[in-house]
Amino acid sequence: MNLSACEILGFDASELMGQSYMVVAPPEIQLNGDRFLAGLLRHSEKIRSHWVLRHKNGNYLTVTAGFKTQKSAVFGACVLIVFAIDDKSDPVDLARRAQSERDASHMALSYGMLQQVINSIPARIAYFDCKTLQCIFGNEAFAIGHSQPVKALHGKPLESLLLPATWAFLKPYYERATCGQTTKFDHTENDLAGAVRHFQCDLLPHFARNGQQIGVFALSVDITAHQQIEMALRESEARLHNALNAEKELGDLKTAFVSMASHELRTPLTNIQTSSDLLQHYAEKLSPEEKAECLKDIQDAVNRMRLVMENVLVFAKLGTNSHVYQPTRMPIDSLVRQLVAEVDAADGHEHLIELKAPEGGDTLQAQLDEALMRQIVGNLVSNACKYSPRASTVTVVWWRQETVAAPAQLRLEVTDQGIGIPVDDIPKLFDNFHRASNVGKIPGTGLGLPIVKRALESLGGSIEVFSSSGTGSRFAIHLPWVD
């Protein structure tokens, strides 16, 4: 090392003699210096370049250096370095540039690692320019979801990646995001197989250091499996709720049935027991009229119990949908008259039952299920008689109703002059075993009207009630008219 070199670097010759060049080399040169010099020795190259060397005081100097391989009798193959201060370059600026190059290298490495991490995420991630909504970056999940290679996404407008209907739905959300609003929403779309997929989306505005918005991050998470699990849980909860309600309803029905049966069967059984005891022990003392009265009481009690059992069986049959619908084309007026006559006979002709038919009604025919019509008309007329005073009038009227706006219907109304129904009881009137609060000691099972409703529903019909306490009642049924 000559004197000029010592002056430039601030060292004495004795301090550097026998030392490695690394003493005056900055860190970035130290990292690759050995390989650089080894390459020079192998290829005997002559290289001229700008270098940065370190002064003894720690400062960096920019120099123009020449590298040349030589052979020495003492040292063998060696590298001669000739350098001089380069006044054209600022050592601080060069150091900064070197640092910038290192930072850029580290940033490129970090970006590559970040890209690998983002591509490994199953959620769709993309970044869009806030002014044009052109895609700047999209991960593999986003590219696959839009049937595009990752590299092909760059520069494509978001609208071009979506179906028109999907873009029409998403556009308002992205417009809010480009105005600096963080947006969260759910949406659905069809995948390549045509299956519906559910996504939860977040749009996050991205701002530069100066506060100006430059982009929008989009994150879409496929929540289809989560939705399916939630739906399955809701369905399971609904089934469990229905099962619990059904079990509770069954328990209530059992309780109501036991209560009804114990009441409705105890009285006729008591009458049978009393009349039979009279006939057994005092037959010789009873007149023929008294014996006949005892036999009639027994027959009435048996008929009452039979009616209770028939109502229970019909109710159960309609409740399990085991009734087979058997429509038959028949004259409506003849059927209604027959059913009213049956009730009148069972009532002992204690009420005046008026039947009104439309003009020419004796020629009208329709498809009807006689068994179900017997339950409907029979229960309504029977109830009208049961809850009305003797000798009062019960009116039964039917007609064909047809309008331009609605198909033809069979309308039938039963009106009585009985005790009526309290307003509070009307909403519960068709509940199983429910009886109005004003029936007193009038016998009944509380199944007649539920049977009527179930029979009507099985025929596609409906029923209306018009009543109040003490004013009588009017029941109106509507049935589809089938020729």
CB 133 within 8 A of CB 151: no
- pLDDT for 147: 85
- pLDDT for 8: 77
- pLDDT for 121: 83
Strands 352-356 and 135-138 turn out to be unpaired
CB 83 within 8 A of CB 51: yes
Strands (E), 95-147: 124-129, 135-138
Q: Which of 421, 322, 331 is nearest to 373 (CA)?
A: 331
Which phi and psi (to 5°) does residue 284 adopt? Answer: -70, -20
- Is residue 42 classed as helix, strand or coil in its secondary structure? helix
Complete DSSP assignment for 168-221: HHHHHHHHHHHTT--EEEEEEEE-TTS-EEEEEEEEEEEE-TTS-EEEEEEEEE
The pTM for the full model equals 0.46
- Show Cβ contacts of residue 259 under 8 Å, excluding neighbours closer than 6 positions: 433
Domains in the chain with CATH codes? 3-89 (3.30.450.20), 121-222 (3.30.450.20), 240-316 (1.10.287.130), 323-480 (3.30.565.10)
Amino acid type, 415: T
- Show Cβ contacts of residue 299 under 8 Å, excluding neighbours closer than 6 positions: none
- pLDDT for 430: 86
pLDDT in tens, 256-291: 666 666 666 677 788 888 888 888 888 888 888 888
Interatomic CA distance for residues 193 and 247, integer angstroms: 43
Neighbours of 381 (CB within 10 A): 26
CA 426 to chain centre: 35
pLDDT in tens, 315-346: 666 665 655 667 788 888 988 999 898 888 88
- pLDDT for 476: 92
Q: What averages of pLDDT result for each successive group of 10 residues across the chain (483 residues)?
A: 77 78 65 62 63 76 70 64 55 57 54 70 89 89 86 88 88 93 88 79 90 91 87 89 80 66 70 85 84 85 76 67 71 89 86 89 84 87 90 91 82 91 88 83 80 86 89 90 82
